[in-house]
């Protein structure tokens, strides 16, 4: 079974300015949302907005927006500080996904599009401390939704795995392995290598319509032995390296990601609201569960009181 993949947190700068707090107003001068300088410049360069000289980092749209933006007093329109929302530190900040990306990636566009409500700042220390607790919650989802974290539908190649382990052992610590054991490992690698070369030749023959080469048993194809290694064949080090890098499992045609399967189940129940828009009550509950889990385990002393478990989920 493939090992569980832990979320990788990329190195952060020692001090980050992540929230640039640009204000975006509608033509009617209603504060709609916040953005960074790059996005503000995008509007300005296309003459889709003008600068408001009397306000700091503020632009006003020159067109009628489709939506009305966020409500007055909502978390999404307030100024945000570039500090860890747990400890208040301003060093080594990273953006944390309250709802893990492995789930959000598969959510409907109306839920995941342009939504930064569930992206919060944590320092590396607080982030790493919470990730251990988040992993326990993910493991609960394994039983709840009947899908392993590594996904379902892997195809395993046991003979590849045996050869890979033997080659890796010989590369890593051959000088510490008794001679008789070394010989067993070498024989394992060579036996696999000859079978592997034959498989490759047969596949090449099929692709090039050389069926005669297959039915004739690949005449002229010599078996590699310890004595013939390097004699017109790959040298021993090359064989060991290639075997140590073998992929001993791969995703089959029916493979499905853990997050994909979870979201499929959570979006089966689709309900249209009074405006005819699709909503997914089960998915809403799942998102709120993650929000509550975050609050329960991170102790967010510096998180705005406007950020709540029941905050907006849909971005339309």
For the segment 197-249, what is each residue's pLDDT rounded down to a tens digit? 888 888 777 766 555 554 444 445 567 666 566 545 678 999 999 999 999 99
Which tokens sit at 288? 């709120």
Q: Give residue-wise pLDDT tens across range 16-51.
A: 789 999 999 999 999 999 999 999 999 999 999 999
- pLDDT category at 69 given cuts 50, 70, 90 is confident
- Is 120's pLDDT higher than 80? yes
Q: Give residue-wise pLDDT tens across range 161-190.
A: 999 999 999 999 888 999 999 999 999 999
| Residue % of the chain over a pLDDT of 90 | 73
Q: Please check whether residue 96 is in contact with residue 297, taking contact to mean a CB–CB distance below 8 angstroms.
A: no
Angle (nearest 5°) at CA 293 between 289 and 297: 175
Angle (nearest 5°) at CA 264 between 259 and 269: 140
Query: How far is residue 103's CA from residue 120's CA, in Å, rounded to a whole number?
Result: 17
CB under 8 Å to 190, separation ≥6 — which residues?
Answer: 224, 225, 226, 229, 239
Query: How far is residue 272's CA from residue 260's CA, in Å, rounded to a whole number?
Result: 22
| 131 to 122, 224, 275: CA distances (angstroms) | 11, 49, 38
B/e letters for 163-201, b = 16+ CB within 10 Å, e = fewer, are bbbbbbbbeeeeeeeeeeebeebbebbbbbbeebbeeee
Which tokens sit at 84? 């860890």
Q: Please check whether residue 224 is in contact with residue 197, taking contact to mean a CB–CB distance below 8 angstroms.
A: yes
DSSP result, 86-134: TT---BSEEEEESS-HHHHTTS-HHHHTT--TTEEEEEHHHHHHHHHHH
Residue 88 C-beta-side C-alpha neighbours within 13 Å: 2
Q: What is the pLDDT of residue 13?
A: 45
User: What's the chain's average pLDDT?
Assistant: 88
Pairing of strands 152-156, 249-256: antiparallel
Q: Please check whether residue 107 is in contact with residue 266, taking contact to mean a CB–CB distance below 8 angstroms.
A: no
**pLDDT, average across residues 49-54:** 93
C-alpha 180 chain-centroid distance? 44
φ, ψ at 61 (rounded to 5°)? -65, 145
Q: What is the pLDDT of residue 201?
A: 83
Q: What is the pLDDT of residue 233?
A: 67
Q: What is the pLDDT of residue 103?
A: 98
Query: How far is residue 211's CA from residue 261's CA, in Å, rounded to a whole number?
Result: 42
* Range of lowest pLDDT (71-75, 222-226, 255-259): 222-226
| Residue % of the chain over a pLDDT of 70 | 85
**pLDDT, average across residues 96-104:** 97
**pLDDT, average across residues 263-274:** 96
Q: Which helix (H) or strand (E) holds 3?
A: none
φ, ψ at 153 (rounded to 5°)? 115, 20
Q: What is the pLDDT of residue 167?
A: 95
Q: What is the pLDDT of residue 158?
A: 96
- pLDDT category at 12 given cuts 50, 70, 90 is very low
Q: What is the pLDDT of residue 209?
A: 56
Q: Please check whether residue 198 is in contact with residue 159, taking contact to mean a CB–CB distance below 8 angstroms.
A: no
Q: Please check whether residue 304 is in contact with residue 78, taking contact to mean a CB–CB distance below 8 angstroms.
A: yes
């Amino acid at each position: 079974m493939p090992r569980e993949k832990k979320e990788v947190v990329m190195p952060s700068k020692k001090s980050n300015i992540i929230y640039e707090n640009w204000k975006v107003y509608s033509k009617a001068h209603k504060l709609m949302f916040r953005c960074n300088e790059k996005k503000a410049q995008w509007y300005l360069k296309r003459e889709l907005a003008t600068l408001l000289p009397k306000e700091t980092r503020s632009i006003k749209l020159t067109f009628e927006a489709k939506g009305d933006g966020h409500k007055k007093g909502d978390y999404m329109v307030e100024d945000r500080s570039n500090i860890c929302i747990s400890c208040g530190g301003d060093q080594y900040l990273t953006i944390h996904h309250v709802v893990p990306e492995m789930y959000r990636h598969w959510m409907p566009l109306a839920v995941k599009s342009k939504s930064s409500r569930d992206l919060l700042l944590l320092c590396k220390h607080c982030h790493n401390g919470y990730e251990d607790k988040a992993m326990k919650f993910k493991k609960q989802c394994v039983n709840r939704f009947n899908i392993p974290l590594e996904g379902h539908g892997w195809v395993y190649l046991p003979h590849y795995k045996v050869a890979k382990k033997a080659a890796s052992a010989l590369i890593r610590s051959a000088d510490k392995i008794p001679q008789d054991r070394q010989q067993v490992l070498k024989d394992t690698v060579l036996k696999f290598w000859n079978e592997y070369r034959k498989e490759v030749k047969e596949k090449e023959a099929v692709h090039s319509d050389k069926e005669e080469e297959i039915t004739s048993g690949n005449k002229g194809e010599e078996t590699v032995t310890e004595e013939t290694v390097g004699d017109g064949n790959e040298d021993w080090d090359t064989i060991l390296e290639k075997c140590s890098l073998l992929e001993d499992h791969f995703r089959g045609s029916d493979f499905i990601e853990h997050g994909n399967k979870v979201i499929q189940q959570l979006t089966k129940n689709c309900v249209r609201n009074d405006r005819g828009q699709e909503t997914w009550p089960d998915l809403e509950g799942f998102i709120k569960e993650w929000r509550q889990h975050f609050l329960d385990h991170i102790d967010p002393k510096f998180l705005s009181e406007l950020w709540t478990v029941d905050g907006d989920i849909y971005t339309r």
